[in-house]
Structure formats: structure tokens, C-alpha cells
Amino acid sequence: MPIVRVELLAGRPNGVKQALAAELTTVVARHLGNDPAHIYVMFQDVAHGDWAVAGRVFDTPPNNTNTGFDKGRKP
């Protein structure tokens, strides 16, 4: 029973998740030989304020003085 976990920024429409779940199920079934009825896809929506990249939280403006971006420094 394969379980595929997908973490992504919150706000994607259910139709997008449905399409992705269908594609992932097809690929896993093809490569692992499992019955699609036994392949689980779990989505974890992460709030923009709970995810950061390059040292900056997604919902933080680039000129926030706490990030160092406004001083020309890289995180």
C-alpha cells in the first residue's frame, strides 16, 4: 500500500489536487505494480507563513528589516 505525501503551499484548488492525485496514482501503479485502489495520496497544505525559502517566509515582504534583504545581504 504505497502512500504518496505531497506538501504544498495552501490555496490550490481541489481540482488541481484531484488531477495531481490521479496522475500520481497512475505513475505509482505503473512503476510499482500496485492496484490503484490501494494507492493513497495525502495532501498537506502549508500556510504561507509557515514555509520559508532562501531565509524568507513566503508571506514576508522582501523589504522587511528582519530578513537582511534590504541591506543587500543574502540569507
Q: What is the pLDDT of residues 33-54, one digit of tens each?
A: 999 999 999 999 999 999 998 8
Residue 24 sits in a domain whose CATH number is 3.30.429.10
SS3 string of 17-32?
HHHHHHHHHHHHHHHH
State how many domains the chain has.
1
Helix (H) or strand (E) holding 16: helix 14-32
Q: Provide the residue type at 55 as one letter.
A: G
Phi, psi (5° rounding) for residue 59? -95, 20
Instruction: Dig out the grid coordinates for 35 from the structure.
Output: 492496484
The domain of 51 spans 3-71
Annotated catalytic residue 2:
yes
Residues 15, 19, 20, 21: is their CA dihedral positive or negative?
positive
Whether the pTM exceeds 0.75: the reply is no
Which entry of 2, 13, 61, 62 is annotated as an active-site residue? 2
Q: How confident is the model at residue 17 (pLDDT cuts 50, 70, 90)?
A: very high
